Amino acid sequence: MTTEIWHNPRCSKSRAAKAALDEAGIAYTERRYLDDPPTAEELDAVLTRIGAEPWEVARLNEPVAKELDLKNMERDRARWIEVMVANPVLIQRPIVLTGDGRAVVARDPDSVRRVLDSE
């Protein structure tokens, strides 16, 4: 498996992570997850790789999160995953999946650096 980035080109942090991968010469595939949302099984596997629950990587300030009152939704992993798959804008970005089975939400330079240092 190669490195993959779940990317939203409109997001500056996502663009910065992608640029860091490019600059480091790391080969990767780009998944524009808003256009190609993950399945529930894929998101569940990625969350497991990250070591996080869905509510820990949800974008709670998105309008749809407020409409769904996501902050107050019961913390049922399967239900949160279902909601996030149906509304992929709720998935924190960017997510970098490494070839060795790790994953990280790469929103800051330290997270990106951890990915780069291991490749």
For 2-37, how does the pLDDT look when each residue is reduced to its tens digit (9 = 90+)? 899 999 999 999 999 999 999 888 899 999 999 999
Mean pLDDT, the chain, whole residue set: 92
Query: What is the pLDDT at residue 119?
Result: 58
- Interatomic CA distance for residues 77 and 88, integer angstroms: 15
| Pair 95, 50: CB distance under 8 Å | yes
Closest CA to 28 of 94, 109, 107: 94
Structure token digits, residue 42 = 């894929």
Q: Which residue has the tokens 């939400």?
A: 105
pTM for the full predicted model: 0.91
- Active-site amino acid positions: 11
Structure token digits, residue 3 = 């490195």
Query: What is the pLDDT at residue 51?
Result: 95
**Distance set, CA 47 to CA 31, 54, 63, 84, 111 (Å):** 16, 7, 23, 12, 16
Residue 72 predicted with pLDDT over 90? yes
Q: How many whole angstroms from its chain centre is CA 14? A: 10
Closest CA to 60 of 83, 39, 34, 41: 83
- Interatomic CA distance for residues 33 and 101, integer angstroms: 19
